[in-house]
């Protein structure tokens, strides 16, 4: 699953630590989500989208498989 977390963080000038504190997770969680090693729960995805002022569908995209 691809995501735009890093891009959206840059728009709001947030570090991984800043975003982590705002949504109640560790910096490592943000890092693993950005590198697509961790897919967040629905609740966490909604918190991220709300904090980054973007829809969940825009923030996360399923990769196409042929």
Q: What would the pLDDT profile of 7-32 be if each residue is shown by its tens digit?
A: 999 999 999 999 999 999 999 999 99
pLDDT of residue 23: 97
pLDDT of residue 64: 78
* Tokens describing residue 4: 């735009």
pLDDT of residue 66: 57
pLDDT of residue 63: 80
The secondary structure of residue 2, as a DSSP letter, is E
- The residues, any chain, with a CB within 8 Å of residue 18's CB and separated by 6 or more, are 9
Domains of the chain listed by start with CATH number: 2-56 (1.10.260.40)
pLDDT tens digits for range 37-63: 999 999 999 999 999 999 999 999 988
């Amino acid at each position: 699953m691809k995501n735009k977390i890093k891009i959206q963080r840059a728009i709001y000038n947030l570090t991984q630590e800043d975003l982590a504190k705002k949504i109640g997770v560790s910096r490592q969680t943000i890092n693993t989500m950005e590198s697509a090693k961790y897919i967040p729960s629905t609740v966490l995805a909604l918190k991220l989208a709300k904090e980054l002022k973007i829809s969940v569908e825009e923030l996360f995209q399923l990769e196409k498989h042929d």
